[in-house]
Amino acid sequence: MQIQRVFARSMTTAASPVKIPVVLHGIDGRYATALYSAAAKKNVLEAVESELNKIGGLIEKDVRVQTFMETPIIDRAAKKAGVASILSSGRYSELTSNFFQVLAENGRLDQTRKVVSSFQQLMTAHRGEVQVTVTSAKRLGTDVWNWGTTIFDQSRGPMLDEDEGELETRVFRQLQDILKKSTLIEKNQKIVLSNKVDATIVGGLIIEAGGKTIDLSVSSKVAKLERLLKEAI
């Protein structure tokens, strides 16, 4: 309990002068916000972000660590000892180590992946960034882009004779230019663009940004057509 009290005092003193960039809810949101406040006070936000991402990556790739963190049948004392052992091998900062001891004491290690995600949301907002996810049936390329330009910008022509890396870079750059002019992105926001592949959408694009979604997928158009046909029968 001593670690929990020490960390709680650290978070309390850190919270008052720190401006939280976005309000998060839920258990993971509260823990992530508390850690953000403490890290901001110590001016180690980027370092803590890197450590959390490292822990998140470890959970994703090691099923044993994932099971240990998220299985409720392991008692809290064992989880405290186990997480201390995991962190000691990675040379994590005292702040991050103490934070995970608090999670273990409170029986919240199962929230780790959500906390990592919530902390990333805080850091994205802190940097003035907006995460934009573009879902396509396959990796963004000339055929997907040409289909998309007929919707977004008729003035942009096809891109030919480029290797895959150059093509993807150019596609992302042009998508960023278009998104900056749209209502999805606020002025002065930095776009962090990622491409998610989902073959079930058949074709087209689904664009998600700042809690808003534009569904331009073929699958959604087919579903809409099916509904119209059923209503007509």
Percent of the chain topping pLDDT 90: 43
Q: Pick the range with the lowest mean pLDDT from 36-50, 52-66, 196-210.
A: 196-210
Asked if residue 202 has pLDDT above 60, the reply is yes
pLDDT classification of 11: cutoffs 50, 70, 90: low
Give the pTM: 0.66
Which is more confident, 41 or 212?
41
Q: Pick the range with the lowest mean pLDDT from 77-91, 106-120, 147-161.
A: 147-161
- Write the CB contacts of 97 (distance below 8 Å, at least 6 apart in sequence): 84, 87, 88
* CA nearest to 117, candidates 49, 62, 198, 63: 49
Return residue ranges of the chain for CATH 1.10.520.20.
2-126
* Listed ranges 14-18, 24-28, 133-137; the one with the highest mean pLDDT: 24-28
Tokens standing for residue 136? 């396509």
Q: Under a CB-based contact definition with an 8 Å cutoff, are residues 148 and 44 in contact?
A: no
Amino acid at 169: T
Domain 2-126 in CATH 1.10.520.20 = yes
Which is more confident, 10 or 192?
192
